[in-house]
Each structure stands twice: as C-alpha cells, then as structure tokens.
Amino acid sequence: MIKHFALIAAGVLSLHTATAQKYVDASTLTIIGRTCPMEGHPYYRVDTTRYHFDNATIRRYCGYPAGVAVLFTTDSRRIEARWTTTPRNYGWNMSPVLQRGMDLYIRKDGIWTMAGASRPGPEATGRHSSAIIEHMDRETRECMLYLPTWSELLTLEIGVDEDASVTPLASPYKHRVIVFGSSITHGASASRPGMAYPARMSRMTGIEFVNLGYSGNSMLQPEFARLLAETDADAFLFDAFSNPSAAMIRDRLDAFVATLVKAHPDKPLIFMQTHWHAAGNFNKEAAQFHRERIDTADRMMRRLAKQYDNVYFLDGEWYYGKDSEGTIDCDHGSDLGYDRMISERLPRIRKILRKYGIR
C-alpha cells in the first residue's frame, strides 16, 4: 500500500506477482512445530486418527498449522509461494495474512529476521500465489516460513530461481516446550503467523515453543489431557484459563493436572493465569465472569503448585497492560499486547526452565 507508483517508478514493484521458475513441495523440507505428525497430512499439528475429538471445531483446528514452520536453505535471489487452503470467510478480528498468509524469516548474523510476507488471495477460492522476497544477493540463506494459523493448508510449494538449490534445514531448536491453550496461544490477534507469542518466544530464546492453541476450545478436557500426557516434550506451558468458566475450572482442573503430573513427573508444568479481559471494563456480567474464573484459577493453582513439585503457577492478570490498549477487541492481544505479555511472562518462564537445564 505504501509502495504504489513510487516503487513502480523505482522498478521495485514486481513484488507479489509470482513468476518463479521452479517450485519445491514444502512437505519434502523440514517441518517444525507439530505436536504429533500425521501420515498423509504434513501440516497437521495433531494426528486426528490417534486423538479423537467429538467437537468438530477441535478436529478442524488439529489441521490448522498455527506455529508450524517450514525450514530450508536456499541461494535463490527470489522466494515465492503457491498454496491452497480450505475456502473460508475471513474472521473479523484478525488480519487475512494471519489467517491464510505466511511470513518468512531469514537468519542474519545469527538472528531470525523478518524478510517478507506472502499475501493470501481472494478467500472464496482458497488458492494463493505470492512473491515473498526478491532482489536478494545470490548467497545461501537459512529460511523459516511460518504457515497460516487459521485454515487447513492443503498444499504448499516454495518457488525459487531455476538455478537455485533448496534443501531441508535442520531445526535450530534443541529443547521443546508444548504450549497448550486458547485463541491467545493459537495466534489471535497477532498481526501475522510469526508474531503469535509462542513463535516469537522461540525466536527470542532458541527454545521451541510449540503452538497447541485451540481457539475458544481450551477447556481442560480429558481428551487434551491424554494428548498432552502422551506427547514428548521438555516442558509444558498452559494458557488454560482463558476459555473455561469458573465452574469448569472447579470441575476439571484437579483431574487435568493429576493426569499430567503422572505422565510427566519430572517435567515442569507451568500454568499461566489468564489476562484481565477488557470486556469487563464496563460490562458487569463479563466482569463477574472473568473475575470468578481468575479467582478460582488463582486459588486452585496455588494449592496445586504446593501439592506437586513440578507444577508452577504464573499469577497476575495485567500482562496486556492496565491501559486496555493491548487488545484488538477487548479479548485478544495485538502484537502490542503480546509484546507486553512476553516482557512480563517470559523471564518468569525461563527462570523455571533453567532449573531443568532448559536454556
């Protein structure tokens, strides 16, 4: 939008017209961020043949590659993508590029650095094609492409110059922390996939924070407890109190925690308090709903953290900031809200992880 005829005049604006000479199937490259990979569905976060959910939304979200990234090395001067998603309308409180687009990071002087976004096409078709970056020097680069957060990804091809190489890049992450949670974890409403807080914390720390966010459906269900109990990781982080009501927390939290402690007795299990929802600033019913569940979670988690050595509770509900400017819709963080959240939560998370040699 900023470019228009100034950049056309300058010859810069061939961008966003896909004209690659060679395409590589991304499923042949390295794929990170999946909890349990599924045969035949390379971009699914969870194997839905192994874990059955009665709820159709949860089943669908298992296939959304939120937090999943493709890693590759290339010496192409230009990188593009062609991809297909299930046709769906765009949600109102998230950008289309977060929902159906992608963003590319390239390692520069050891730091993963934003290189370009791939713009999704008209929502009706689910077919997309976009340049991501062009006019680079011809040198070998390490690339991380974050996949769409709010749609199944049916196919993905990476486009490069005819004479360029594309090879799988080994994951830069040694340790893996599963982050289970709500829309907040899933990515709503970061500006683009790579700005969801687990992805951003991964780049900041060198520890992989795997996104297992299920928007609106993180309700301490026994099926999720089973999935997490059977999942291998170095630690678990829970955004567990953003969806359930106080009654659900009372009914389900003890059993949920007990299942996880039994399965992972030596791994840190870190539970985060949910944020104060600005919807409660003026809406008295919303205020009461949020206050009750925050208080319930606080009371129960303090007891559970005493009961189990490896259970931790990060209290405090103001991590989006007290000025209510950190959300898009009173509920979901913007990049600003998540930046504030990371500033407050991440040092506390890392302090716990360090006790377990995770750094």
Name the minimum Å distance from CB 60 to its own copies: 13
Name the minimum Å distance from CB 341 to its own copies: 11
Name the minimum Å distance from CB 230 to its own copies: 26
Q: Is 338 helix (H, G, I), strand (E, B) or coil?
A: helix
Which of 347, 351, 318 minimizes the C-alpha distance to 333?
Answer: 318
For its own copies, the closer CB: 232 or 247: 247
For its own copies, the closer CB: 224 or 312: 224
For its own copies, the closer CB: 307 or 343: 343
For its own copies, the closer CB: 189 or 310: 189
Residue 67 gets the label, from left (phi > 0), alpha (psi -120 to 50) or beta, of: left
Name the minimum Å distance from CB 308 to its own copies: 26
In this structure, how many other beta carbons lie within 10 angstroms of the beta carbon of residue 32? 19
For its own copies, the closer CB: 107 or 348: 107
Name the minimum Å distance from CB 16 to its own copies: 10
Name the minimum Å distance from CB 353 to its own copies: 22
Name the minimum Å distance from CB 111 to its own copies: 8
Q: How far is CA 234 from the centre of its chain?
A: 18
Please give the Cα distance from 118 to 133 (Å, whole number).
9
Q: How many residues are there in the chain?
A: 359
Name the minimum Å distance from CB 136 to its own copies: 5
In this structure, how many other beta carbons lie within 10 angstroms of the beta carbon of residue 182? 23
DSSP state string for 98-148? HHH-EEEEEEETTEEEEEEEE----TTT-EEEEEEE-S--S--EEEEEEPP
State the alpha helices, DSSP H only, in the chain.
4-9, 56-62, 96-100, 183-186, 197-205, 222-229, 246-263, 284-307, 335-355
For its own copies, the closer CB: 120 or 126: 120
In this structure, how many other beta carbons lie within 10 angstroms of the beta carbon of residue 19? 11
- Residue reference for tokens 């049916």: 154
For its own copies, the closer CB: 52 or 284: 284
CA distances from 185 to 127, 193, 359 (A): 26, 11, 21
For its own copies, the closer CB: 23 or 90: 90
